[in-house]
Every structure is written in structure tokens, then in C-alpha cells.
């Protein structure tokens, strides 16, 4: 499209220089510092830092809570996206824009509210606590707030795909005698699966790195409801930069792997569905 414009349009060198300089100072140098710090540790030191019992418990809970919340988001996100794309009802546009609130609301506010909604005297806790459901300062509480944080990712990933589904596929299924449920299960779900996996991964990645909201709803107890980012902060507060960096590297590798997976998936589904 713009192959010839390099000779015509001005500002290529200037804009590219600004871009590269900015990214180098803000992203590349800090990442290089992280690599240097990690390399300054001996393999034994690195291993001792990332594989303590407390660290393992923190990864386990971080990964477990993030996967559970991302799975819950897939179900809730599909429900909301389906309703928004397929049905007409009063208040639909308001509902559609409300879905973005978790993107716009500062995570500290989300954490603050969620920590007080589910306590015994809270708005929702007064019904749930007598039933034995305690979602304040527990593992469940962390999962619930992660569901809130990640919900828009799945909805926004699914909406455009649901909108662009071909009528003919559902037509054909119906004519061949499939029930609505069979059509949904065997025709629609396979078509939206790549988008669902993208939404799942984005929601998972966000949950893995989340700190602001969890710090309010978790009691920060090691082996119980401490997530990996909390452990990094704890190490930093003890000025143990090496250990903090080692744990951060584990988190970085996980999130980069997810980022690559999402990119590969998007390229793959573009090739297969275009």
C-alpha cells in the first residue's frame, strides 16, 4: 500500500528514530537490566530463589486462580456476547458499554469494593455467608475479583466473530434436522473456538499479572492466598532484589509464552477462516 510513499512522504527517519529511542529507553533497557540481574545469579542461587516452597505455592495459586477465572470468563463472556449479538432487548446498548467497566475502573477500586461486598455484613455477603460461601479474604475471593478483571476480554474477543458468522451454516444444520442445541454445539462452537481461546488467553494473561485488586481481597497468607506478584513485592520490601528478579523472570516467561501463543493462534485462525 505504502511502498512508494517512502520517497514521497517526509518524516520516516525522524519518526522511526523517536519510536526506537523511546522503546529502547522505556522497554529494552529495563528488560536488559532484568536479564543482567538474572545472569548475575548463579544457577543454584536462581533455582533456590524460584523453587522455594513458598514460591511454588504462590505460582500454583496464581496459575490455578487465573485458569479458573479465565474458564469462568469463557462461560460468562460467551453468554453475554451471545445475548448482545443475537437478541434485541431494552437497555442492550447500556449493557454493552457496561461490559467495559473493568477496563476503565482502577484496579484498586475494584479490589476495595470486592473486599467489602462479600464480608458478612456486605451487600452480597449477607446472603452468601450464611450459605457458607465466603468470598472475602479467601481463595474464592481472589478468583471472583479476577473474573471481574478479565470479563471484557472474552466478550470483546467473541462479539465480532459472532456477528460475522455465516447464516448458511446454521441454515444447513437446521435443514438437516439438527436441533438448536446441536447446531450450537457442532456448528457454532467450532467456528467461534479460536476467538474463545484468544479471549481465554488474554483473560488468563491479565489475571496472572494482576496485583492491584488482589492485594485488597487476599489476606496475603503464604501457602493460602498469596499470588506470585505479591511474593515479588514481599521480596522487594526485604530488599532481596535478586530473589524478586528471579521470580519476576518466571512470571515474564509465562506471560511472553502466552503472548506468543495468542499471536500464533490469531495468525493461524486468520489463515483458516479468512
Partner 1 sequence: MPDSQLIAARHVSTRVDHPAVRWMLIVLAVLVVGVLIIVPVINVFAQAFSAGWTTYWTSLLADADTRHSILLTLIVAPISVAANVVFGVAAAWAIARFRFPGRTLLTTLIDLPFAISPVVAGLLIVLIFGLQGYLGPWLREHDIKVIFALPGLILATTFVTLPFVARELIPVMEAIGPEEEVAAVSLGANAWQTFWHVTLPNIKWGLLYGVVLCNARAMGEFGAVYVVSGRIDGLTCTMPLRVEKLFQQLRHDDMAGSFALASILTLLALVTLAAKVSLERKTRGELAEAAATKIVGAEPLVAETVGTSA
- Count of residues that bind partner 1 according to CB under 8 A: 97
The answer to whether residue 63 forms part of the interface with partner 1 (CB under 8 A) is no
Q: How far apart are CA 210 and CA 145, in angstroms?
A: 10
Cα 175 from chain centroid (whole Å): 39
Nearer to partner 1, 196 or 248 (CB): 248
From the list 111, 70, 65, the residue with the least C-alpha distance to 225 is 65
Rounded Cα gap, residues 192 and 165, in angstroms: 9
Residues of this chain, 178-237, that bind partner 1 according to CB under 8 A: 180, 205, 208-212, 215-216, 229, 232-233, 236
Stretch that binds partner 1, among 41-49, 53-61, 174-182, 191-199 (CB under 8 A): 174-182
Q: Does 36 bind partner 1 (CB under 8 A)?
A: yes
CA distance 82 to 75: 11
Stretch that binds partner 1, among 52-60, 130-138, 191-199, 246-254 (CB under 8 A): 246-254
Determine if 52 is a binding residue for partner 1 (CB under 8 A): no
Do 159 and 81 touch, CB atoms closer than 8 A?
yes
C-alpha span between 119 and 138 (Å, rounded): 11
- Restricting to residues 247-266, which ones interact with partner 1 according to CB under 8 A? 248, 251-252, 255-256, 258-259, 263
Sites for partner 1 among residues 131-170 (CB under 8 A): 147-148, 151, 160, 163, 167, 170
Q: Would you say 158 and 192 are in contact if contact means Cβ atoms under 8 Å apart? A: yes
What are the grid coordinates assigned to 249, written together?
523472570
- 135 within 8 A of 118, measured Cβ to Cβ: yes
Rule CB under 8 A: choose which of 174, 191, 197, 265 binds partner 1: 174
Task: Candidates 47, 51, 56, 83: give the one binding partner 1 (CB under 8 A).
Answer: 83
Interatomic CA distance for residues 225 and 207, integer angstroms: 14
Q: Pattern of binders to partner 1 over 99-118, x per CB under 8 A?
A: xxxxxxxxxxxxxxxxxxx-
Least separation in angstroms between residue 60's CB and partner 1 is 17
Amino acid at each position: 500500500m505504502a511502498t512508494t510513499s517512502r520517497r514521497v512522504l517526509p518524516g520516516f527517519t525522524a519518526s522511526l528514530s523517536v519510536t526506537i529511542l523511546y522503546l529502547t529507553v522505556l522497554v529494552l533497557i529495563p528488560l536488559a537490566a532484568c536479564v543482567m540481574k538474572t545472569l548475575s545469579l548463579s544457577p543454584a542461587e536462581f533455582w533456590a530463589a524460584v523453587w522455594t516452597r513458598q514460591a511454588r505455592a504462590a505460582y500454583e495459586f496464581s496459575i490455578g486462580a487465573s485458569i479458573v477465572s479465565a474458564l469462568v470468563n469463557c462461560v460468562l463472556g460467551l453468554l453475554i456476547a451471545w445475548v448482545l449479538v443475537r437478541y434485541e432487548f431494552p437497555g442492550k446498548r447500556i449493557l454493552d458499554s457496561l461490559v467495559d467497566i473493568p477496563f476503565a475502573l482502577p484496579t484498586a477500586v475494584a479490589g476495595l469494593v470486592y473486599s467489602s461486598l462479600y464480608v458478612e455484613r456486605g451487600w452480597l455477603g449477607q446472603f452468601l455467608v450464611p450459605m457458607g460461601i465466603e468470598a472475602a479474604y479467601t481463595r474464592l475471593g481472589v478468583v471472583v475479583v479476577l473474573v471481574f478483571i478479565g470479563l471484557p476480554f472474552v466478550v470483546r474477543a467473541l462479539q465480532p466473530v459472532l456477528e460475522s458468522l455465516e447464516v448458511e451454516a446454521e441454515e444447513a444444520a437446521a435443514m438437516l434436522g439438527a436441533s438448536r442445541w446441536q447446531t450450537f454445539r457442532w456448528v457454532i462452537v467450532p467456528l467461534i473456538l479460536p476467538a474463545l481461546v484468544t479471549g481465554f488467553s488474554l483473560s488468563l494473561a491479565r489475571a496472572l499479572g494482576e496485583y492491584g485488586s488482589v492485594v485488597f481481597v487476599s489476606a496475603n497468607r503464604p501457602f493460602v492466598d498469596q499470588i506470585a506478584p505479591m511474593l515479588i513485592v514481599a521480596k522487594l520490601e526485604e530488599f532481596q532484589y535478586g530473589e524478586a528478579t528471579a521470580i519476576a523472570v518466571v512470571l515474564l516467561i509465562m506471560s511472553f509464552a502466552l503472548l506468543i501463543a495468542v499471536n500464533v493462534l490469531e495468525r493461524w485462525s486468520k489463515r483458516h477462516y479468512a
